[in-house]
Amino acid sequence: MDTSRVFHHFYEISKIPRGSGNEKGISNYLVNFAKVHGLEVIQDEYYNVLIRKKATKGYEKYKSICLQGHMDMVCEKDENKVFDFKKDPIEIIIQDGYLTANGTTLGADNGISVAICMAILESDKIKHPDLEILLTTDEEVGMVGAKGFDITNLESNILVNIDSEEYGCIYVSSAGSSMVKSSKTFNAQKIEKDVYEVKIDGLFGGHSGVDIHLNTANASMLLAELMLKLANVAEVNILDFNGGTKDNTIPRSAKIVFSTDMEYKELEKLLNVFLDSLRYRYIKAEKNILMSISKLKDIEYTLMLNKEDSKNLLNYLMNMPNGVLKMSDNSKDLVESSSNMGIVYTEEINGKKLINTHNAIRSLKIEYQDYVAECIKEYAKSFGFDAIVKKSYNPWEYKEKSEIRDYFSQIFENQVGYKPRILKMHAGLETGLFAEKNDKLDIISIGPDIKNPHTPSEKMSIEAVEQTYVYLVSALENYNIVK
């Protein structure tokens, strides 16, 4: 089967900026694509796009099916990469059987879903029942598009999400998520000593759902621990602490600006000794922990925290509940609940310092999700932080009976000769929101192999894309679920 049009469309949409919150351009592109091909299309106020294509002759008796994905992508880049996600096209590279990008995220999550759907829609050779394509916006920053989508516009009661990242698997459940924002205002004083910047970089990072079980280092927490060791032997006054860029991404880098009376050489020596002990702890998960130290001459800051507040802040960041918090009681090697301190940032307002943290909480069960959110809030309050839940969506919970799951399992087995794996996912999918809005929906999630999503190391298997496309087309052409 010719899969060239899938890759053609993926390359084309990769030229269009589509970071979360910036999807108007790609949304309009998809609307125009539908109109050019004479298809019914609805674009809502959130820039979600719903496209309908009538059944092939002879397939009118079968139930309508919806293929679903999201058009936005996570925008992450290497530290030294010069790139503007609001205007620059993604630079795609073919490497060892994979598509990857030059120093940025690839956007395979979830651009490949868009590309597959476009290839199916434009074909006059693929047989199918009544078909709906739903492509949503802002999935990566709180599933805004899916939350806003009017589910009554969807005619299908069968939905195939194409946003999982392992070929040969059918996902039947996914985690819900809440984001807890914590903030505290500190009194500040004038800077009186030398000012330094210390930066931690080169960490693996990764998706806070898919990769949380790998026990990689959180750059902000690692830096806080490093600096607390220093603060125990010298006076440290924090001017600025920043780490991470996305709630749902494990921080790869973090930096602190601080004042101390310690000389540069002694400071460098001590920090390297402290870092060596931390490197040993992460010897299996992190191969490239980097640290840079520089003495600042031109200082943009005017105020700093006192010694006591600086140590308390470092303690708060270092000991934040983070990573895997509970494993599933029912599924082997599946994370039940987790927390990721994705962002730390500092603001200077009216002569004071405001420290903010964002924690992305995930769980397969709503009761655990709420419990962990409350635990994070109580932890923050114990250090004098104000904490609130800013964004939340429920888990997609497993259903015992699923007609579409059984059908896709059989199609896969017919194609490759063995059964697919039926799995639950600790990452979040929009499917939970759709199921909550319409409990009659029969839902599964599939997709090709995508490695290291949400990082500049993201890559997608070319072979797995081809296999996924053949799998999906075969499912449409052999469709036998009657109305």
Rounded to 5°, the CA angle 72-139-411 comes to: 90
**15: how many CB neighbours lie within 10 A of its CB?**
13
Peptide bond into 110 cis (omega under 30): yes
Rounded to 5°, the CA angle 45-47-51 comes to: 110
Maximum separation of any 2 CA atoms in the chain, in Å: 81
- For residues 350, 236, 260 and 274, what is the CA-based torsion angle, rounded to 10 degrees? -140
Calpha distance 151→155 (Å, rounded): 9
Calpha distance 372→384 (Å, rounded): 19
Where do the H-state alpha helices sit in 1-65? 4-13, 24-36
Distances (CA, A) of 305 to 43, 301, 334: 49, 12, 42
* Angle formed by the axes of helices 24-36 and 108-122, nearest 10°: 10
Cβ–Cβ under 8 Å, residues 240 and 219:
no
Tokens for 181? Answer: 């924002």
Cβ-based neighbours of 255, under 8 Å, separated by 6 or more? 197, 198, 199, 200, 223, 240, 241, 242, 243
Cβ–Cβ under 8 Å, residues 134 and 150:
no
Please compute, for residue 440, the number of CA atoms within 13 A of its CA located in the half-sphere on the CB side: 6
CA 362 to chain centre: 12
Calpha distance 106→78 (Å, rounded): 12
Calpha distance 340→362 (Å, rounded): 9
Calpha distance 379→375 (Å, rounded): 6
**161: how many CB neighbours lie within 10 A of its CB?**
25
Distances (CA, A) of 369 to 164, 342, 375, 377: 21, 17, 10, 12
Please provide the DSSP assignment of 399-449 as one string: -S--HHHHHHHHHHHHHHSSPPEEEEESS--THHHHHHH-TT-EEEE----
Cβ–Cβ under 8 Å, residues 185 and 354:
yes
Active site residues: 72, 139
- With b meaning 16 or more CB within 10 Å and e meaning fewer, what string describes 401-414? ebebbebbbebbee
